[in-house]
Each structure stands twice: as structure tokens, then as C-alpha cells.
A and B are shown apart, each in its own frame.
Chain A
């Protein structure tokens, strides 16, 4: 993704951040306004829309029956996919997923998987033969920066909203019964991204900040305040002490968000 930003603007953003200010008026560790709406797609088993400032992400979940992975015969399967649809940004193009959408999908996946957010063992129908497969499809509708945090939040909100049909097994056949029950959720991971601009760390970079940043680091935390996934991105570097500072900031932000979202 080539950055199209004037040198003047780059300098302006960097100088402001060096003074502890940001172009959109936020403090260095402030998030943009977060809005979450759940259950917006009736056809999906679960859905959510997240607005992070002007960044907009919709996630829909689907549940189907399938085969388990051979190394986890007793567990259901989680699949995360990201579509960077061309209407969301002048820089997104139609076609098969590129490295950016694959990375985004895998980072969202890692947060959910490593925190053990879904009780996958409860999704097993017949060990080694039949399990439920949870598809999490992330649709980015407007790209104004920090797709990782917005997508991770939307994915978790959609999973919390997901219902699955009740079923019973009769002679090895799965029979769908009347009624629904919620998807078994154990943890609610939250991901926080810090961008390094100059020698400062800023939380929740928006598009123009992403275009001038040296590098970013995203950390997912589970309900107990443990780190469960990390991804560094961008072609710059962090000093070790900045990595630890990012972990401290991220942990604080996650706690704040948990209170705000009641998660």
C-alpha cells in the first residue's frame, strides 16, 4: 500500500505528535469514538457493525457442519476471512485477498483463537468426524485507519451476537430442533494498536497517521489481562523499551474499553 501523502502533511503530523498533539485533536493515547451495533444482518447467525471514528467494519458469522482438523478431532473449527472491498478505499482493488487482508484476517483470528474466546470443544458433534465450523467474515466498508482494532472488535461483537440452532444426534444423524442458543463464548479479547511516529507512540492511528508511521504494534488481551496475541507491522522498528511501553499502554486501554463496553 503505497502512501500517498504530501511531505508537508507528513512533517505537520510528525511535529504535532512530537509536541504530544494530534491533527484530529486527540491526545496520544485517546481512541476515536467507538460505536457498536449488533444483529444488523438478520440472515447471518451473528453480526455486528463497528464504527471507529470514520473507519467502518461489518462482521457476519455463519455456522455450518464440517470436518474437524486431524490434530484437534474434538474441537469445532474457526475460520476468519477479511474482504477489503473496493468501495471502502481508493486503494483497495477487487481480486483475491492480498497480503494486507490475509495479515488482517490472521491477526483477528489469532486474538480469538489464542484467548480461547470460543469454547470449541462444545462445537464437536462426533469426534474426528463432524463438528460445527464458525465462519467469521470481516467486511471493511470504510478505511480510515486502524482496521486491526476495528475488525477484532467487530468480530468479537458478532460472535457474542451469534446464535446456533439447537440440535440432537439420533443414530449418527444430526437433527435440528426448534429454538436457538448462544454460541459458547469463554473470553472476550480486545486488541489495541499503537503506531510509532518519530519516537512517540500513538494509540488508534487513523489513516493519515498510518501513512506516516514507522511501524505499528497490535496486542490482544484476554479477560484476565494476559497478552494472547501480538503483531508488529510496518517497515520500521521499535526499541525494546518502546515494546514494553506499548504493552503497558495497551493493557491500560483494554481495561478502559472493558468498562466502557461492559465486556
Chain B
């Protein structure tokens, strides 16, 4: 039961999965993966596999929630029962309700909410497999799905966590590190506006360690941001090529 590894960082300074302290797990992003949705994205971040879909702007339901001067953003973060070791009940847990709220609040600043009064935008996030840092991967995917849906945005939102293992500040905790490490600091960033839209922490850090953790997480965000842009571009390059082939036929 208690298979807690003795050291989380070995003598060579490498982590359990062989990464350096400031190294991200491999990230794969894909845009436009659900044909029914107005926008969608898929992320593989380490062993995390997460789908995000956007519907809207559409009619508000229930109607009394409609706002006269802006749209209503709704967000549902949900984990599949098979996404974790022990089956998770599909009913929303208190954790999922809190994460839905913080994910929504991390995306809201990026959207021009005032462009679509009396409407609602739904963001659905489904975690198919969890491997630590699902909230961050969810935000990265959800922001891409929003961009894919064509909703005007001030910036993309990208998220990454930093934490502390033994006495080292490290980037992007995976499942085991998250559980036995001494701190976890998820951060979401709008890279062009240099704006932090999600910040949480649990564990114990001095204020100096906290500053280096946030700075490291922001660095990770910027690296994933490049992949995010690339994923969006790839979708349109592929579309262009498909159109070209059709025209040639």
C-alpha cells in the first residue's frame, strides 16, 4: 500500500520518470476532434488524455441565467470512471465542482464576453485518463477548443504546474510526484498579456520557493503555448491541403 519511493530525485538529479527538474512531459495537442462540437481539442500531457468540447454561443438554459450585457460561460470538468486506478463514481464530486469553477474563471478573462449578450457558452472537459495535473491540461485543451470554435479571444490560455520534490523545485508533476511531493502549484497564463488566470497551491513552500515555483510554471506555460499555436495552425494547413486536392480533382 505504502510504496512511497525513498527519493524522488536520484543522484544524477533525474526524476522517477527520468526527466530533469525543469523538463516537461511530452505534450501532444490536436484541434477539431469532435465533429458535433463548435470547437474541440484533445490533449495528451504525459499519460493524461483529455478531451474538451465547446458549444455556443447558444440559447441560455435555464433562461433566467441570461445576462443583458454579456454571455454566460459554463464549464464542466468531469472525470471518466475508468480514468483513475480505483473506479471513480460518475456523479460530480466536490473536487470536480471546484475544478469546474476554477477552470471557468481561468478561461473567462480571455473571452470577449460582451460580444454575445443573452447567450451561453458551454465548455465540457472529459478526463479519459488522469496522470497528475489534469486541471492544467484541461485548461490548455479548453482554451484551444474555444479558439477552434471561433469565439473572439484576447489571448490563448495555457496552464502548467510546478512543485517541490525533496528540496528541489520542479516543473510539471506527474501522478506519483503529485501525491508524495511536498507542494503543487498549478498556474494558468495568458502568454501575450502576461496575465495569471489560475493560481492554486497546496503543500508547504517558503515565499522564495513559491516565487521560483511560479516562475518555473510560467516558463512551462510558454513552452506549451508554442505547441498550442502549432496545433491550431496544423488544423488550417491540413484544411488548405484538403481543399487543394479537391480543386485538383
Contact = CB atoms under 8 A, between A and B. Distances in A.
A233 B101 CA distance: 9
Q: Which of B67, B94, B205, B215 has the most CB of A within 10 A?
A: B94
Interface residues of A, number: 38
Nearest to B95: A106
Given A70-B1, A225-B206, A239-B195, A99 B97 contact: yes
Interface in A215-238: 215, 217, 222, 225-238
Interface string A158-170: 0000000000000
A99 B100 contact: yes
B73 to A, nearest CB: 8
Interface in B78-110: 94-95, 97-98, 100-102, 104-105, 108-109
A59 B200 CA distance: 25
A199 B211 CA distance: 20
B202 A229 contact: yes
Contacts, number: 97
Given A106-B94, A238-B195, A226 B206 contact: yes
Contacts of A244: 211, 214
A119 interface: no
Given A102-B94, A102-B98, A237-B190, A227 B205 contact: yes
Binding site of A, secondary structure by majority: helix, strand, loop or mixed?
mixed
A71 to B, nearest CB: 7
Contact of B199 (A113, A115, A217, A225): A217
B138 interface: no
Given A102-B97, A110-B202, A233 B196 contact: no
Contacts of B200: 230-232
A95 interface: no
Nearest to B203: A114
Given A226-B206, A243-B199, A243-B214, A235 B105 contact: yes
B204 A226 contact: yes
B195 A228 contact: no
B210 A247 contact: yes
A73 B2 CA distance: 10
A229 B194 contact: no
B207 A228 contact: no
Contacts of B211: 244, 247
A227 B105 contact: no
A22 interface: no
B100 A114 contact: no
B207 A230 contact: no
A248 B194 contact: no
Contacts of B190: 237
Q: Which of A110, A229, A230, A234 has the most CB of B within 10 A?
A: A230
A234 B218 contact: no
Nearest to B217: A240
Contacts of B218: 240
Contact of B1 (A73, A115, A243): A73
B196 A240 contact: yes
A84 interface: no
Interface string A54-96: 0000000000000000110100000000000000000000000
Contact of B105 (A97, A229, A233, A240): A233
Contacts of B102: 103, 231-233
A147 B1 CA distance: 38
B196 A237 contact: yes
Given A235-B108, A247-B210, A240 B215 contact: yes
B196 A230 contact: no
B185 interface: yes
Contacts of B203: 114, 228
Contacts of B194: 239-240
A217 B214 CA distance: 14
A2 interface: yes
Contact of B214 (A222, A225, A231, A240): A240
B201 interface: yes
A105 interface: yes
A71 B4 CA distance: 11
Contacts of B201: 227-230
Nearest to A237: B195
A138 to B, nearest CB: 14
Interface pairs A-B: 10 shortest CB-CB: A230-B201, A237-B195, A235-B108, A232-B199, A99-B101, A237-B197, A237-B109, A114-B202, A238-B196, A226-B204
Given A227-B205, A228-B201, A232-B197, 6 more contacts: A97-B94, A99-B98, A102-B98, A226-B205, A226-B206, A229-B201
